[in-house]
Amino acid sequence: MIITDANIDYQDYNDGCVILINKPLGVSSFYVVDQIQKSYWLKRKQKLKIGHAGTLDPLATGLLILCTGKMTKKINLFQDMEKTYTGTFQLGASTASYDLETEVVNHLDTQSIDILQIELVRSSFMGFQNLRPPVYSAIKLNGKRAYELARKGLHTEMPLKPIYISRFNISLENFPELSFTISCTKGTYIRSIAHEFGKRLNNAAYLSSLQRTAIGDYQVQNAFELTDFLEKLNPVINVI
C-alpha cells in the first residue's frame, strides 16, 4: 500500500507500506528515515521498521522510496527499477568529489567547445558501459568507505562498474552549464557521468545540481515534502 493524504493515519505501518518522499537539499537519506521513525514513535509509542530503496546524497534532492514493516523485504524490487534524474553539469572546472562537496579547481576555457562535440560525447554515454564511481562515495574498499580514504588524502583506484543509460537529453541554453535528463540503471553515479563528460570533451566538468524525478513508474510529483509528511503523521510534535 502506498501512503497518501487519504490513508496517512493507517493504523499499522509495520504491516507494510510504501512512502514517497521528496528529499530536501542538505540532508541525508538516513536523516529522512530517522525523522519518520522518531515521529512515528512519538505518536504511537511503537518502533517502526523502515528503510529506503536507494540513497540520495545530501546535495541531491528528489524521490526517495521508503518501505516499512513487511514491505522492507521488497526494497530490492524498488532498487532494481530504472532511475530518472535531472540536473546540471558545469563545464570548465572540476572538483575532487565530482560535485560541490569539495572545492572547485582546474578552471579551463570552454569557448572552443562546440555543439557537435557535445553531441558526440552525449551519444557516447548511451547504452551499456563501465564507469568508475567517485572516490568520494560510500563504496567499501578493503573494509573502509572510499570517502574516508579520500578525506585522508589517500589515493584509491575505484573499480569499474557496469551501467546502462537509456536516455540522456541535454540543453545548452545556459552554456557552459548543461541541463540534463538521464534515465539509467541502479548504482549509476551521476557525478561520475559529469566528471567523465568533461574528460571526453578534453576539458573538465562537475555536477552542480541533481534531482531524482522518478524510480520506475513512481514520480516525485506524487511524493510528500518531508516536513508536510511529518506534520501530517504527527501534528502535535515537530521533530525536524
Give Dmax (Cα) for the chain.
62
Helix (H, G, I), strand (E, B) or coil at 30: helix
What is the end-to-end Cα distance of the chain in Å, rounded?
26
**What is the radius of gyration, based on Cα positions, of the chain?**
19
Helix (H, G, I), strand (E, B) or coil at 109: coil
The yes-or-no answer on residue 57 being catalytic is yes
Burial class (CB in 10 A: 0-12, 13-18, 19+), 230: buried
Reported as half-sphere exposure (CB side, CA atoms, 13 A), residue 138 has a value of 8
Q: Which of 169, 170, 168, 164 is nearest to 184 (CA)?
A: 164
Among residues 12, 34, 57, 80, which one is catalytic?
57
CA distance 123 to 201: 12
Question: Torsion angle, CA of 179/184/186/188, rounded to 10 degrees?
Answer: -50
Q: Which of 65, 75, 53, 81 is nearest to 23 (CA)?
A: 65
Residues labelled catalytic: 57
